[in-house]
Every structure is written in C-alpha cells, then in structure tokens.
Amino acid sequence: VDEPGSSEPPALAAPISKFPEHFTRAAHKHQKYASEDTEDPKWKLHKKHIFILSSAGKPIYSRYGDEQSLAPFFGLLQALVSFVSDQKDSIRHVIAGPFKFVFVVRGPLYFVAVSQTDEPVAHLRLQLVYLHSQIVSILTHKVHSILAKQSSFDIRGLLGGTEATMGNLLHVMSTNASFFLECVRCVRLAPETRVEVGRALQTTRAPEAMFSILVSGFRLIHILRPRRQQLHTEDLLLVLNLVNSSSSFRTSDSFAPVCMPRFNDRGYVHVYVSFLADNVALILVTTKADAFHSLQQSREALVTDLTNRGLLHQITTAAAQPPVDMAEVERSTHANGVLRHFLYKAHGAGQFIAPAYGPPYVRRKEQKRLFQVYQNLYAMAYSPRYRSASVRPHQIVFHSTPSENIVVVTSPTFDLYAVFGPLTQRQHCIDVCNRILRWLKREEQSMLISSAPVW
Amino acid sequence: MSSAPAVLERFFVYNPRFGPKEDNEEQKILYHYPRTASLDEQMSHVGLSEAMTRFTETFTSDYPCESLHTKHSRYTYLQPEEGYWMVMMMRNPRVSSTSGDGKLVVVSREDELSDPVLRGVIEELYGAFRLFNGDMERIVQTSSVETLRRRLDLFYSNMLRLYEARSFSLVDTFAGVRFFPVDRTTYLSIQSFCNLLLETFPWISNLTFMYETAVIYSALDQKTLRTLFQFLRRASNPKGSLCAVTSPILVDHGDDSQDTNALSPFASLHLQSEGSFFAYGPAAGSESTTLPSIHIEDKVYDLVIYEQDGVRVAFTVDPRHWDGESHADLQRVAAFAEPEVKALQRLLVHLRPKADSGAKDSGFKFFYFNQCNLALKDTLSDKGVPRSVMRDVESLYERIHSMKEDVRELTVHTASDPWVVARKVRYYEWWAAPTCDTAT
C-alpha cells in the first residue's frame, strides 16, 4: 500500500525527526548509566558500547558505566590487543552472531566498539577513527607522545569536561549521514541569495579569519576559504559537533582553542563562534590567538550587512526548513507515491542532498533502521574490492526486502540511494531514479554550494 | 608484483577441561597442526582463542565467537561439543610489489576470505571426524583422552592435506548434496536393484546409490548423507575415484604401532568382477580385510563402498555380522552386483549432462540451494568461470547474512563485471552471475 504524499507526521516524531542532525539531549544520555559495571546485567544490554584505553590498559572513556569499576575489563581489552600484536599482527574485529567487536589502534591509544546494531564494521571503524580525531582535536597529537613516554599517564584529567562532546559525536554519527557519506549537507538557498551571502562574507572578513563558515546545525549555509586551502570534511564535522554539543555557545560569543587534525594535528587554531539567530551560527577559524576583538567586529559588520539587504531573514527562514521534503519530490517526479526517501551525493561538490524523513519512516526506530540499511549499502558499494580502482566504477545495486526496495546507483560523479515500497517493480524504480536525477540537475544549484568564494 | 594465495596455516583442537591447572595447562591441547610448532607457540594461540571466546561471552552467551579478523590472518572458531573448541587459522592472501625506492611492500588482502565459507569448511572438518570416529566426548568416556588425541592426530594429519584453500568456495557453506537427475524409469530400475540387494543380503543397511559424484538414491538420514557426501567429494581425485591419501584417515588399529607402510590403500580384493571395494588390508588377496567404520547416531557400522565404472554403491554393515567371513560375503555381493550395475551404468551414461549443455546457452552461471532437501546445483564452479565471479557471489552472501534485514534479493551490476544476482525465497537460495551483459 503506497502512502499519500504529505501527511503530517504524528506529534510523537516532533521536529527532531525532520532534522536528523539536531539533538542535544541524547548527548547526556550516558550519564544515566554512569554507575554501571560488568556485574550489572543491564550493562551488557546496551546496543553499542565504546571503550577508549591506553596501551597500558588505563581506562580513558567508556560510553556506559563507570570507568574505574570497569578497569579489569579494560585490562582484558588491552590483553587482547597485545596478544595479537605479539604475533606480529594487528587485531581488526571479531564477530559473534549479530555482535561486532571492532578494534582501532592509533599509537598508544586503543579504541573498541561492541555493537549489536546493524551498522557495518566499516562504519564502526569510522566512528572509532573519529573519536581518535576528537581526542586529537582537544589535545593535539601530543597526546601520543605523552602516552608514549609514560604509558600509565591518566589523560582523563586533560580531557576533563569534554564527555558531552564525545557523547554528542557518538550520537550524531548514528543519525547523521554526513559521517558515513564523508560530506556535508547544505541549507537550501536561491543561488543568487547564496552569492550575495558569499559577497557579504568576503567584504566583512577580518584579516585574521582563515575560514568563515555560516552554518545551521550540521548544515552549511556558506563558507569562505583561502585560495590555497580546503577545509577537510572531518575537521568541519568535528567543529560542528563541538558547536552543537554545548548550549554555552548559544548564549554568548565564544573563542576557543581547537586542534583540526587534518589541517594541522600538532597545534591549535582558534575558533570564534557567534550565533546570529536562534539557528544560525557564524564560525570563524583563525591561527591568531589574540584575534577575538577583530573577529567580533567583523561579525557585527556582517550582521549589519546581511540585515540591511534582508539576507539575514532569508537565511534564518531557509535554515528552519528541511532542504526538501517528499511532497516536493513527489510533485516533481510524479512517482505516484512509490518513492519514500533518497540520498544523493555529488562527488565534485563534496556535498549531499536528502529530504526530510516522511512516512513510513516516522518513528525514530524506523529512521534508524533505514539509516543502517543505507550504511550497509554504502559499505558494499565502497568495499575494498573497488577501492583500489582508480576510477570509481559505475554500479547499480538492487536490494529487496519485505520492508522496501532500494536502488543504488554509483558513478564517478554521483551516488544515488533511492528507497521504494516493497512491491515496486524494478523497472519502475529505475525510471523514478532517472526522474530524480533529472530533477536534481535542475534544482541542485539551490541545494549545493557549487563554488565557495575565496580570498 | 606477485601474489601469494590464502593458506591454511594452523588448525587446533582444545578443551580447557583437560588442563585446568597452571602446571598442566598444555594438556588442554588435543591436536595441533602444524606438528612442528613449539609448545610455547601452541599455547599462545590456544591462550588467544580462550581469551577471545571468553571475551565475547561477556556480552552474549547466545552467540558463540565465530571469527577473528586481523591484518594478516583470519581465525574461525567452532565449539562442536560442549567444552571442545576447534580453531582454524588462515593466512590472508598477499600481494607484494616493489615500491619506488626499491623496498619490498607486502599488502595483506584482508577482505578476500569469506567467513561463511570458512565456517562451512570448519564444520565439514568436524563432521568428517565425527562420522568416522564418533563424538569426541564419547571417545573420552569409552576410552581415554589419549585415545582421542591419537585419533585426532591420525585423522587430521592426513585429512588436512585434502584441504587446499584454493578450493574453498560458497559451495562449502551450504554443505549440500548434488543429485543426479534421472528419468522415472531409470530411477525405478535403480530402486529395484537396491531392493533386490537388500533382499538378497539382509545384513546390508543404509544403502546409497551414486553415479559420478552425485547421489541418486539414499536411505541414509540427511545429516549423515551430507557429511558422507562432502567427505567423498573432498577425498576423490579429479577422476572421481577415492584417492590414496584417504586411507590412513579411516582406519585406526587401536595401538601406537601404526605402520602406515603396511596399509596399502584401495586394495582391490582380487575380485573376479570389474568392481572394487574401498577396503584395506595386505594387498595379496588375504582373507582378512579392514573396513572403515562410521558412526551414525550412537551406533557404529562398517562402511562398504563398492565402485564400478563410475557407479558407487555404499552401504553399512553391523560389524557383528562378519564373524571373520567378510571377504567371502563381499565377494558374493560383488558377484551379484556386477551385472546389474553394468546394465544400470549403460543407462546412466546416456543421462549425463552434455559438456556444452544448456547452461552455456542461457548465458549465465548459477548456484542453487534448497534447504529442505539439501539439493545443490552449481555451475559457478565450472571450469572457465573466473574465481572472481564466485568471490562476488560470496561477498553478496556475506552482506546479506551480516544484516538483520531479511534480504530477499540483492543484485549488483558493475559496468566492467557481469551482473550478480542473489535471491532467497523461503527455503530456496539462488545465486546467478550472467556471463554476458544482458540487462534485466
């Protein structure tokens, strides 16, 4: 039975489900379980455990449970890793039925995930690698040499106060496609408006600002960068996570040191954060530690400029809506209700487009399930068999279950993952995919930033 | 640029129950291949396995530890009986090349080996041991741990030679049975021959009739048939006859004075007929023969396999029947069977699939498995089909079975490779790889 286009999602789902990248309350969920240990039968039931430890077995982080009372368990993890490295080998992962135990070793830091979810191993690895980058973003690469000199050093002291950021990162990685797709989403703006915004950023730029980024949640409004420097997605996502994990950034302008691992993992840059409106933030990245006032002034100039031209209002309205909802897609593709959702990644722009979730993916559980199916299909399309190919292959995948049919099309320029009802015929699916692609070609100017302004 | 294929590097069996204390820990190792490994090396690997299995148990007692992936190797775990663990370690295939500055760079291909395939292989390894020796625990109860150790050693040291990593494929995962399709009349003729045989020699039981490594009729229970079939498949040389290396596997004289030179494999019993029995004993037509024993349920039988012109008739005999008369009895069976089998074989020869049969015409190779009757049809393993196609099918299988989703169909079409289609309908599984670019 195909659902009609745009019925109002029930209150249960609330706005949170429309913006999968938003949520801060889950960041603190772990605190509820902070006292558990291995003896507690509830501890084992958590769907995904994350453990971080040093090569000496010293606990650094545990998503659930008290690190101190879990110390013997951390000792066991350390023993497993070293057992394997004694054989001149490196441990990767262990499978037991639906359970996946994934190990990532980065110098003296060990990261372990114990997962009962449907997330593929490749994605669990990615999450652990991000956690490592998160630690580096707080302490720089020096954390490696600290531990190398003294493996029993307790770095938890150095990481004090950052549990919320870690927790948030873990939560966001399970719901926001930016991480596994390795690119970001944009707020939808008419191309002319976006150009105007870019010009405003350029004219009001403080000389110390290296990157000027306008965002809403995890979505990009615009970005201004140096001619010779790109901002790596990983660095961007870590900064966005930082800004989104703490409410203190919203209340007043902040200026904080942060290490961007891909940009330079040995030192800090400074990040100026100021919310221009409830849902729009300005992030300025600078290498100068004393640039706060200068950056603040440029912020004032920018707000004035944007307000005068009516752009600020346009931005805040656009940011409050999803870039596209299924009703619009339905109108444009005449899919007769068979299309339920899709993900489109443009390789050239390094950005993706996805509509808000609509029926039947209204409950968070269903959204999560679909999300994990996307992850599995992505992992299949990018499995190591093809990684060595210099040109990404053209590939079409058809995946059919009693819940839905999914068509995946990959090519050197784009990836499309389209979800249909389970009774939709294969040929019909392909037809609709073609229609989606044609429609996107027409509309993508407003949904992607095709060229970022430079200075 | 050179490549080294995957290799079965290690295989061991242990039970912590036999070495519970610190000072006799090594007693828990029941078997280890390669024999040349030092005790320290063996213990460290057993230690790693114990740690690994206990670690996963911390989180789930419902699902035992299945596999460990490391950069260079793949470990597959199986606990076939309470407390007894079998571990198989494969070394990943490697590719070596010389880098720009002349250094040798070796890269392990970590995702090449397929877990479901390896699982099928290790289950087969256990199944075969159990078929010819009975449960491990039973051996310990009725005899001793030492006997178990000896049996494991005798069995696996020879059996492992038959397992070349190169030959592992999805076929092993399903442990299916290949059936030889015949028309109704031929089937009835075969059935009537079997019935006659049973009438004439009432001490025969569990009759199985095979032709050219495929089964036509069997009275064996499914589980045993499956294991026996797999063993015969693995133990047969390309011509289809049981090869010499299997002989020491099957017969245990119960003492340590095992002089393998005295065993001559496949000794034909100097029959007047054209057939021969799979039996052992001093070659020169002596009266005593030794037959391999197999364990079905809790009973032990002697296994007799009679081969003639591609036809293989297997049956079991209660060992108490012989009374020292085995040679004579078998002679009579051979004499009876020979003309009948000759006639049947003439019929069967015409039913063989032709070399370039319809499969090629339809433009695709496929693999079909029916869970209910264990029927397996496989043209993917045919000569001429590149291994990479099977590998594609295997990765689809892995993906489907690693997800909780009930995937009914998964089709992958890559521009340069053929389509690969996987379909599951209730108990049927069907995998195909068209060899030409036919769009659906």
pLDDT tens digits for range B189-211:
999 999 999 999 888 888 999 88
Predicted local confidence at residue B165, as pLDDT: 76
Amino acid at A104: V
**Residue A235: both structure tokens together:** 């660095």
* Phi, psi dihedrals of residue B16, rounded to the nearest 5°: -55, -20
DSSP code for A350: T
Predicted local confidence at residue A1, as pLDDT: 34
Reported as a pLDDT band with limits 50, 70 and 90, residue A13 is very low
Judging contacts by C-beta atoms under 8 Å, the chain A residues touching residue B404 are 98, 118
Cβ atoms of A208 and A291 closer than 8 Å: yes
**Residue A397: both structure tokens together:** 């995948």
Report, as an integer, the average pLDDT of A174-180: 92
Report, as an integer, the average pLDDT of A194-220: 93
Q: Give one word for A23, left, alpha or beta, with left for phi > 0 and alpha for psi -120 to 50.
A: left
Cβ distance B405 to A98 less than 8 Å, yes or no, reads no
Judging contacts by C-beta atoms under 8 Å, the chain A residues touching residue B44 are 83, 86-87
Interface of chain A toward chain B, CB-CB under 8 angstroms: 38, 44, 73, 76, 79-80, 83-84, 86-99, 101, 114, 118, 120, 373, 376, 380, 383-385, 393-403, 426
Judging contacts by C-beta atoms under 8 Å, the chain A residues touching residue B402 are 120, 376
Instruction: Tell me the β-bridge partners of A414.
Output: A346
Cβ distance B44 to A373 less than 8 Å, yes or no, reads no
The beta strand positions in B64-181, using DSSP E, are: 67-70, 73-81, 84-91, 94-98, 104-108
Residues B45, B43: Cα–Cα separation, whole Å:
5
Q: Which of B431, B313, B430, B368 is nearest to B177 (CA)?
A: B368
Flag whether pLDDT at B348 surpasses 80: yes
Q: How far is A438 from chain B (nearest CA, A)?
A: 21
Predicted local confidence at residue B288, as pLDDT: 53
Q: Percent of chain B at pLDDT above 70?
A: 79
Q: Which of A167, A146, A150, A169 is nearest to A158 (CA)?
A: A146
The beta strand positions in A75-124, using DSSP E, are: 91-96, 99-106, 109-115
Predicted complex: ipTM over 0.90 = no
Predicted local confidence at residue A23, as pLDDT: 38
Cβ atoms of A352 and A449 closer than 8 Å: no
Cβ distance B410 to A399 less than 8 Å, yes or no, reads yes
* Phi, psi dihedrals of residue B12, rounded to the nearest 5°: -145, 160
Cβ distance B65 to A86 less than 8 Å, yes or no, reads no
Amino acid at B213: T
Judging contacts by C-beta atoms under 8 Å, the chain B residues touching residue A402 are 406, 408
pLDDT digits (tens, 9 = 90+) for A304-342: 999 999 999 999 999 998 888 888 888 888 878 889 999
Flag whether pLDDT at B360 surpasses 60: no
Predicted local confidence at residue B262, as pLDDT: 32
Report, as an integer, the average pLDDT of A8-33: 41
Flag whether pLDDT at B236 surpasses 80: no
Nearest CA in chain A to B415: A394
Cβ distance B414 to A394 less than 8 Å, yes or no, reads yes
Alpha helix stretches (DSSP H) within A285-425: 292-308, 311-319, 326-333, 364-381, 384-387
pLDDT digits (tens, 9 = 90+) for A112-164: 999 999 999 999 999 999 999 999 999 989 999 988 888 788 888 888 878 88
Q: Which of A122, A123, A125 is nearest to A112 (CA)?
A: A125
* Phi, psi dihedrals of residue A80, rounded to the nearest 5°: -60, -45
User: Which of A237-246, A440-449, B44-53, B187-196 comes out lowest in average pLDDT?
Assistant: A440-449
Report, as an integer, the average pLDDT of A238-256: 91
Cβ distance A89 to B406 less than 8 Å, yes or no, reads no
Q: How far is B259 from chain A (nearest CA, A)?
A: 37
Q: Kind and range of the H or E element at A417?
A: strand A414-420
The beta strand positions in B50-162, using DSSP E, are: 67-70, 73-81, 84-91, 94-98, 104-108
The mean of the pLDDT values for chain A is 86
Interface test with A, best of B90, B405, B417, B430 (most A CBs within 10 A): B405
> If DSSP codes are grouped into helix, strand and coil, which group holds residue B367?
strand
Nearest to B415 among A96, A380, A393 (CB): A393
DSSP A227-249: TT-PPPHHHHHHHHHHHHH-THH
Residues A137, A367: Cα–Cα separation, whole Å:
30
Cβ atoms of A174 and A120 closer than 8 Å: no
SS3 content of chain A, % helix, strand, coil (to 5): 40, 20, 35
Judging contacts by C-beta atoms under 8 Å, the chain A residues touching residue B115 are 95
Residues A167, A180: Cα–Cα separation, whole Å:
18
Q: Name the maximum alpha-carbon separation found in chain A.
A: 67
DSSP code for B330: H
Instruction: Provide CB contacts within 8 A for B241, sequence distance 6+.
Output: B266, B307
Cβ distance A393 to B71 less than 8 Å, yes or no, reads no
**Residue B71: both structure tokens together:** 């950069």
Sign of CA dihedral B315, B320, B321, B323: positive
Flag whether pLDDT at A219 surpasses 90: yes
Report, as an integer, the average pLDDT of A282-293: 93
Judging contacts by C-beta atoms under 8 Å, the chain B residues touching residue A37 are none
Q: Work out how many CB contacts closer than 8 A connect A with B.
A: 126
Instruction: Provide CB contacts within 8 A for A403, sequence distance 6+.
Output: A422, B405
> If DSSP codes are grouped into helix, strand and coil, which group holds residue B149?
helix
Amino acid at B217: Y
Burial of A227 (0-12, 13-18, 19+ CB in 10 A): exposed
Instruction: Tell me the β-bridge partners of A407.
Output: A398, A418
Amino acid at A169: L
Buried residues in A285-313 as b, exposed as e (16+ CB within 10 A): bbeeeebbebbbebbeebbebbeeeebbe
Cβ distance A89 to B70 less than 8 Å, yes or no, reads yes
CA neighbours closer than 13 Å in the CB half-sphere of residue A361? 27
Cβ atoms of A121 and A102 closer than 8 Å: yes
Judging contacts by C-beta atoms under 8 Å, the chain A residues touching residue B68 are 91, 93-94
Q: Kind and range of the H or E element at B203?
A: none
Residues B118, B140: Cα–Cα separation, whole Å:
28
Cβ atoms of B173 and B116 closer than 8 Å: yes
Flag whether pLDDT at A215 surpasses 90: yes
Q: Which of B288, B298, B296 is nearest to B316 (CA)?
A: B296
Query: How do B376-378 and A351-353 pair as beta strands?
Result: unpaired
Judging contacts by C-beta atoms under 8 Å, the chain A residues touching residue B66 are 95-97
Flag whether pLDDT at A38 surpasses 80: no
Cβ distance A89 to B402 less than 8 Å, yes or no, reads no
Amino acid at A244: N
Reported as a pLDDT band with limits 50, 70 and 90, residue B77 is very high
Sign of CA dihedral B378, B381, B382, B388: positive
Cβ distance B56 to A101 less than 8 Å, yes or no, reads yes
Cβ atoms of B136 and B102 closer than 8 Å: no
Interface test with B, best of A81, A88, A385 (most B CBs within 10 A): A385
Cβ distance A96 to B66 less than 8 Å, yes or no, reads yes
**Residue B147: both structure tokens together:** 């006997």
Taking residue B192's Cβ as centre, other Cβ atoms within 10 Å add up to 11
- Max avg pLDDT among B17-21, B246-250, B392-396: B17-21
**Residue B143: both structure tokens together:** 């005899």
The mean of the pLDDT values for chain B is 79
> If DSSP codes are grouped into helix, strand and coil, which group holds residue A335?
coil
pLDDT digits (tens, 9 = 90+) for B382-435: 776 777 777 777 888 888 888 888 888 888 877 666 677 777 776 666 776 655
Flag whether pLDDT at A373 surpasses 90: yes
Predicted local confidence at residue B427, as pLDDT: 63
User: Which of A241-255, A427-441, B87-101, B320-334 comes out lowest in average pLDDT?
Assistant: B320-334
Contacts 24+ apart (CB under 8 A), B249-253: B249/B132, B249/B154, B249/B155, B249/B158, B249/B159, B250/B132, B250/B280, B250/B292, B251/B280, B251/B290, B251/B292, B252/B133, B252/B150, B252/B151, B252/B154, B253/B290
Judging contacts by C-beta atoms under 8 Å, the chain A residues touching residue B411 are 396-399
Taking residue B202's Cβ as centre, other Cβ atoms within 10 Å add up to 9
Reported as a pLDDT band with limits 50, 70 and 90, residue A409 is very high
Predicted local confidence at residue B433, as pLDDT: 64
Cβ atoms of B424 and A412 closer than 8 Å: no
pLDDT digits (tens, 9 = 90+) for B319-330: 888 776 667 777
Predicted local confidence at residue B285, as pLDDT: 42
Reported as a pLDDT band with limits 50, 70 and 90, residue B256 is very low
Top pLDDT among B395 and A2 is at B395
Interface test with A, best of B50, B59, B388, B423 (most A CBs within 10 A): B59
Judging contacts by C-beta atoms under 8 Å, the chain A residues touching residue B72 are 88-90
DSSP code for A124: H
Cβ atoms of A90 and B69 closer than 8 Å: no
Nearest CA in chain B to A369: B405
Predicted local confidence at residue A349, as pLDDT: 87
Residues A227, B87: Cα–Cα separation, whole Å:
56
Q: Give one word for B80, left, alpha or beta, with left for phi > 0 and alpha for psi -120 to 50.
A: alpha
Residues B291, B27: Cα–Cα separation, whole Å:
32
Q: How far is A399 from chain B (nearest CA, A)?
A: 4
User: Which of A50-59, A209-218, A222-231, B313-322 comes out lowest in average pLDDT?
Assistant: B313-322
Residues A79, A84, A87, A92: what is their CA dihedral angle, to the nearest 10 degrees? Answer: -160
Reported as a pLDDT band with limits 50, 70 and 90, residue B294 is confident
Predicted local confidence at residue A342, as pLDDT: 94
pLDDT digits (tens, 9 = 90+) for B387-400: 777 777 788 888 88
Top pLDDT among B343 and A11 is at B343
Nearest to B71 among A73, A89, A385 (CB): A89
Top pLDDT among B93 and B322 is at B93
CA B124 to chain centre: 5
Reported as a pLDDT band with limits 50, 70 and 90, residue B176 is confident
Report, as an integer, the average pLDDT of B145-162: 87
